[in-house]
Chain A
Amino acid sequence: RKEVEQDPGPFNVPEGATVAFNCTYSNSASQSFFWYRQDCRKEPKLLMSVYSSGNEDGRFTAQLNRASQYISLLIRDSKLSDSATYLCVVNSRRSNSGYALNFGKGTSLLVTP
């Protein structure tokens, strides 16, 4: 089973739409969760951390369900500039003192006029 799984999409939505992405992770000991966005051939850019209580940043809302090992991202009032690949990322402690980010393969979003 993949450590972080996402629906690859693509999601094609009109401007102004609300879109939701889901993600599941397999390591129940995972401690930290993030959404990154990645534009074509660019670096991943941190969108937001995800907290157990859920958190919101403007048009973006993230939720975490530890019991189900499920993370979601909701984008309201989509803009053309939201078109990108959204990466679900889980920070898991490894065998020693270090941490490593485990990335999902990403969900592609295209917002159209």
Chain B
Amino acid sequence: EPEVTQTPSHQVTQMGQEVILRCVPISNHLYFYWYRQILGQKVEFLVSFYNNEISEKSEIFDDQFSVERPDGSNFTLKIRSTKLEDSAMYFCASSHPGQGSEQYFGPGTRLTVT
């Protein structure tokens, strides 16, 4: 069964450093997403990406965040200058096009900012 994969599973970084989180979406999906979940809180939408551009982003997704699809398989989330409050699980998801399409999530990257 196809699945979304993410690397690394855990990333520890110092405040102010840049991190790149990587995802390989399901191969025939065209929509890609990043979500985050701070410990004990709900899953929150960050950004959606389609046709090589951002199609939607939330208020959380400010200038310190960027996304990229550098090749035909990877989808990345970059956090330019990490803050303590960026510590969270970051989930990548992918789906077929369409509002009713089900999104499938990767196992997540746990980001710890110290």
Footprint of B on A, CB under 8 Å? 31-32, 34, 41-46, 49, 87, 91, 93-106
Contact = CB atoms under 8 A, between A and B. Distances in A.
Contacts of A96: 55-56
B102 A106 contact: no
Interface string B70-104: 00000000000000000001010100000111111
B25 interface: no
Contacts of B41: 105
Chain B interface size, under 10 / 10 to 19 / 20 to 34 / 35 or more: 20 to 34
A42 B54 CA distance: 26
A32 B91 contact: no
> Interface residues of B: mostly helix, strand, loop or mixed?
strand
Which 4 pairs from chain A and chain B are nearest by CB? A98-B56, A98-B55, A100-B45, A43-B105
A45 B45 contact: no
A91 B35 CA distance: 14
Interface string B36-57: 0000011111001010001110
A44 B104 CA distance: 8
A43 B99 contact: no
B56 A97 contact: yes
Given A43-B107, A43-B108, A103 B91 contact: no
B57 to A, nearest CB: 8
Given A31-B99, A95-B56, A96-B55, A102 B104 contact: no
- Name which of A44, A87, A95, A102 has the most chain B CB atoms within 10 A of its CB: A44
Contact of B102 (A42, A46, A93, A104): A46
A31 B99 CA distance: 7
Contact of A101 (B45, B54, B107, B108): B45
Given A32-B100, A98-B55, A101-B35, 16 more contacts: A34-B102, A43-B105, A43-B107, A44-B43, A46-B102, A46-B104, A87-B43, A97-B55, A97-B56, A99-B31, A100-B33, A100-B45, A100-B56, A102-B45, A103-B42, A103-B44
